[in-house]
Each structure stands twice: as structure tokens, then as C-alpha cells.
Chains A and B, each alone.
Chain A
Amino acid sequence: QKEVEQNSGPLSVPEGAIASLNCTYSDRVSQSFFWYRQYSGKSPELIMSIYSNGDKEDGRFTAQLNKASQYVSLLIRDSQPSDSATYLCAVISDNFNKFYFGSGTKLNVKP
């Protein structure tokens, strides 16, 4: 079992819809959770950080964390074609000595 699991996609949504990206992790004591966006040929770019259970909103992005169920999700409201990219989930263990990235979910937003 991988430490961080993501559906590779592609996930296709129409422009203006909500895109929902999910990530599960195996280390129960993980403490820090991040979502990165990576455009083709570019480096990963941080878009959201979340550290406690619940929702965290930033503009059109909402990160959701449920430590009991060991999943973290990213919602993108009013999806735009410019959101088309691969989204990577990252998890850090509680003693900050293990760093895991998921394999990413490719999102296509169709005009």
C-alpha cells in the first residue's frame, strides 16, 4: 500500500462546475497536508495547506481534512480551463521526518 493514494484520473469537468479531488493516506499520525498544482512541464506549486480537521477555504479552493478517516480532499469551485493541471497531495508525518507525495490526479476542465 502506498503512503498516499490518489486517483490518477483524468477527471473531466465542464467549465463552471465543482471539481472534487481526493487523497487518502496510511500514516495515522500525519500532521501536515498540502495540495500542489503542477502544469505540464512545470514544477509543483503550492495552492493549499491544512493542518487540522475541517474545511479551509481560499478563494475558489477548499481543502477538507478528516484525520479519523485519513483522507484529505480539494474542491475547486467555478472550475476554469486554466485549472487544468495535475494536482498532487502531500503528507508530512507528525515528527516531520517523513514526506510523501501522491502520484497526482490529472484534471481537465472543458470550456
Chain B
Amino acid sequence: DAGVIQSPRHEVTEMGQEVTLRCKPISGHDYLFWYRQTMMRGLELLIYFNNNVPIDDSGMPEDRFSAKMPNASFSTLKIQPSEPRDSAVYFCASSFRGGEPQHFGDGTRLSIL
């Protein structure tokens, strides 16, 4: 079975540009999570969806960040405008149910110059 698929794997862009990260969860998983990982702050939950509905976005750092899940097989995380402090690895994860373990994609390594 295919795992969680994220694209792109690497993104380098200049400050002020719009960045869109994409995620395809494992088929049949009801929960989708977006995380950000840095050396300083570790793994931070940004937002999660249940059945395509955003449930908790309290981890989204500011209004520059937005996430959507238009259907069960696709989600996006958008940063507009991007800033150098947004540089991090962004992971998408999905789980079958809320109490089940999360399965992570390979991540997107984002560098904002």
C-alpha cells in the first residue's frame, strides 16, 4: 500500500513568495495532520482534519499560514507571504481513526531565503 505522499520534497524560494505544500493521505484514513519540525522547537502540530473538516488549527503560527482539504485524498498547506523563519521540514501524517497511530510522509524541506 502507498504511504502518505508529500510534494515537493524540497522547496527553496525567496522571502515574500507564496509556498504551497501538498499531501495525499493513506486511502481510508480519516485524520490528516500537518506538522513542522525544527531543531529549536521540535515537532509542532499545526492543524489537523477529520473527514476533511479542520478540527484544530491552534498550532498555525499566524495568518500567513492556511490549510485546506478539499477531498479525502488531498490537502494543501500554504504560506503567503513566506519568511525566512518559516524554514523547516513540514510533515503530513494520516491515521485511520483518532486513537490510531499516525503515519508520516517523507516531508518537505522548505528553505526561505
Contact = CB atoms under 8 A, between A and B. Distances in A.
A97 B55 contact: yes
Interface residues of B, number: 20
A55 interface: no
B99 interface: yes
Interface in B51-67: 55-56
Q: Interface residues of B: mostly helix, strand, loop or mixed?
A: strand
Contacts of A11: none
Interface in B32-83: 33, 35, 42-43, 45, 48, 55-56
A43 B42 contact: no
Interface string B71-111: 00000000000000000000100000111111111110000
A45 B105 CA distance: 10
Contact of A103 (B42, B55, B99): B42
A84 B76 CA distance: 33
Contacts, number: 47
A43 B98 contact: no
B101 A99 contact: no
Contacts of B33: 99
B101 A49 contact: yes
A101 B43 contact: yes
A31 B100 CA distance: 10
Given A99-B33, A101-B45, A104-B42, A43 B91 contact: yes
Shortest Cβ-Cβ A-B pairs, 4 listed:
A96-B98, A103-B42, A43-B104, A101-B43
